[in-house]
Amino acid sequence: MSKATTRTIMSHRILSPNHDYDAVDHPHDQPMLQLSGSIFGFLEEEVNILSSPENDIYDSQHNIEEDGDETENPEDIEHKIKFWETQCQNLHTTLFRTTSLESKIRSITKEILKEVANVCLCSIPVVGGCQSCKMREICSRLQNSGYNSAICKSKWKSSLDIPSGEHTFVDVIDNTNPKKGEVRVIIELELRGQFEMKKGSQEYNNLVSKIPEVFVGKFDRLQSVVKIVTNAAKKCMKEKKMHLGPWRKQEYMQAKWLRVTERTTTTKTLIIKPLMAVDGYLTRPAKVKASMLTMDLLDNNMSNMSYLYAHTVQVL
């Protein structure tokens, strides 16, 4: 009689290093599958291999190589240093060039600001004096000294490149020298504040700190300052990989002193005519809109109304 054998199903074999594979498994009395000794043991060995000191050294070296890829090129660093040095030198040269007219107006303005430092004639006085009162006082005293001074208001509409805005400052127009023609001197009480940026780099902030708070100079000189600083702002934002706001662009900054619409003296307001615009943009005069409230009764309309009234009475 042949000996009976028992087959063990492979899917139910216990995968444990302590299991006796020679013993007979009873299908109805099998323990639960144990994986800790085989599969998990292999995973632990794999984790130990990945976390070995040799791999730690490799990871650190790999990170250093990745960080090294982000370091600046020495040529780029040299170019960056040269750019900011050039901007500072150009700004210094532009600001310290002056004429006798600029020096005289600057001296008068300086004395006026000392006297009216804490004067404010507004209904609600401002501590330290407000800019409006200071501009009115500067304009009045310059006129008393024989200068054609006025408070200017510039205003411009929005376009595809820049938003709309307005600005107020003081200027002096000099026509005493026929050879030079008309010379326009700008008096800006807060020039440095026009260019300050909270997110500016150290190089940019250093450049802006060299701009005087109160600027007194020719219009062309101010435009040169605007060009230098706005180019520096563009470079600063590019280095920081940030977007340059449209109100920081050169066209927007120049519009503050370029697109003048009014010149207000102490006695009257002069409206700048389109042909006198210095920015090249001609504005059309506003069209007069017809209205029943402004109809001229002495015109032919009166006779027409009388005819219509008489004709209506006859019909009735």
Looking at every residue in the chain, the average pLDDT score rounds to: 74
State the amino acid at position 265 in one-letter form: T
Average of per-residue pLDDT across 81-100: 95
Question: Which tens digit of pLDDT belongs to each residue from 243-264?
Answer: 999 999 999 999 999 988 899 8
Question: Which tens digit of pLDDT belongs to each residue from 108-160?
Answer: 999 999 988 777 878 777 777 788 899 999 999 999 999 999 999 999 999 88
Give the residue among 180, 108, 111 at the shortest CA–CA distance from 143.
Answer: 108
What's the pTM? 0.63
* pLDDT higher than threshold 80 for residue 277: no
Q: What is the pLDDT of residue 85?
A: 96
* pLDDT higher than threshold 50 for residue 314: no
Q: What is the pLDDT of residue 43?
A: 40
- CA separation for the pair 232, 199 (Å, rounded): 13
- Residues contacting residue 134 through CB under 8 Å, at least 6 positions apart: 112, 113, 116, 189
* pLDDT higher than threshold 60 for residue 292: no
* pLDDT higher than threshold 70 for residue 33: no
